[in-house]
Structure 1
Amino acid sequence: MLKEKNLKLMKLAALTLLFTMVQGCGENGDKSEKKEDPIAALSPDEKEESHSHDNITHSNPSKRIVKPEEARQLWIFPESADKLGSGGLLQIYMDPESHPDASSGFSKYELGVGGALPEHKHNKTEEIAYFLSGTGIVISYENDERKETVVKEGYVWYTAPGEWHSFQNTGNEPLKLVFATVPNAKHGLLDFFKKVGVAPGKEPSNAMSAEEFAKLASDNDLILKPAEID
């Protein structure tokens, strides 16, 4: 009789344990099903914002890495079709065409021996340049007073919108620099260079008058400094 009673108690304990285990598994399943998706928990506006942020990375067609051979090369004011002379070699790595979502353009420029750019300013564009090699002078103005500063490898040059500036190569080798233009906007400095530049080996055009050249420059945020008349 005692053995039969003990057997019944053991069966009851086993059933109780089994029921507890089954109930626990059910609760865990519910918890995993009820685990909130971070996106699902957001408000409609937050969902839209999160989705748009994800797309910034995945839908942007701009290149993250640009190889030297992929840069657009232009001769700026070359001496002839086969000789750069005192003109400049421009390599455009980032501009509004190639990187429409970028905040700045980025290029490399090599100014030939004896070369110089006319004094000018940009009403909307700021420039940041880093000199790679060569020697030259940067022309700027402080309190309307013209100032010349010697520059060489390692020097950084910043130009704010509205400041008259220029630079010249005073050495016996090309003056090389890389520079960023901010903002990376259409009808800006790089667009001007693309309009006046030619592909290496192509005959430069001298068809524009001084007035037409000045207007083209102004239309692309490059305003030439009026010549002073004595």
Structure 2
Amino acid sequence: MTNIDKNTIPTHSFDWGLIKWFVTPDRTEGASVTFGEVVLLPGKGHDRHNHPESEEILYVLSGDGIQTLNDDAPFPVKAGDIIHIPTAAFHSTHNNGWEPLRLLAFYNPGGAEKGLTGLPDFKELSPGQIQDYTRS
């Protein structure tokens, strides 16, 4: 058993929000999956993308959003919803509410999170460093 102290983990910052990966194959001994919390700022979201090698499961903790999956019609998501995104399926999530949209994200197998570090708006905040929410 590994007790994970989220205060010792860096935060990934983007123009649209934040991610803290609690478990990854690179950071957690013996892990083959990735698990973390995603915060999408009001009116923001991530662009349509896919994970060619991993399925993804999202669990909505709070807030309201719009989810796309492949070329199907967008659908609303809210607290308590669970979204399964099959391997290689294109998808996006956008916050259409006034408060942050908080999600738990799970990749199987882990590793898809590495692709996010190459995005132009990626910044890594040191453990304990706090990101301010600012108005543009």
Q: TM-score range by the shorter chain?
A: 0.7 to 0.9
Q: 155, 162, 165: which one pairs with 2:91?
A: 165
- Alignment length, in residue pairs? 124
Q: Which consecutive unaligned segments of at least 5 residues does structure 1 have?
A: 1-62, 79-86, 202-230
* Structure with the higher strand share, 1 or 2: 2
SS at match of 1:69: helix
The answer as to 2:132 corresponding to 1:194 is no
Structure 1 segments (4+ residues) deviating >6 Å: none
Q: What is the CA RMSD across the aligned residues, in angstroms?
A: 1.7
In the alignment, the residues of structure 1 paired with residue 58 and residue 72 of structure 2 have an alpha-carbon distance, to the nearest angstrom, of 20
* 1:7-36 per-position Cα deviation (integer Å, ceiling 9, x unaligned): xxxxxxxxxxxxxxxxxxxxxxxxxxxxxx
**Higher share of residues assigned helix:** 1
Structure 2 CA distance, aligned partners of 1:123 and 1:199?
A: 24
Q: Deviations over 1:33-75 (max 9, x none)?
A: xxxxxxxxxxxxxxxxxxxxxxxxxxxxxx6111220222111
How far apart, CA to CA, are the structure 2 residues paired with 1:121 and 1:193?
11
Question: What are the superposed Cα offsets for residues 158-197 of structure 1, whole Å, 9 maximum, x if unpaired?
Answer: 101121111100000111001111112xxx3211223432
CA distance in 2, matches of 1:102, 1:124: 16
What percent identity do the matched residue pairs reach? 26
Aligned partner of 2:64 in structure 1 is 135
Contact 1:119 1:165 in 2 (8 A): yes
Per-residue CA deviation, residues 130-183 of structure 1 (Å, 9 max, x unaligned), is 110000010013xxx431111011111110112111110000011100111111
Runs (5+) with no aligned partner, structure 2: 130-136
Give the match for residue 147 of structure 1: 73
**Higher radius of gyration, 1 or 2:** 1
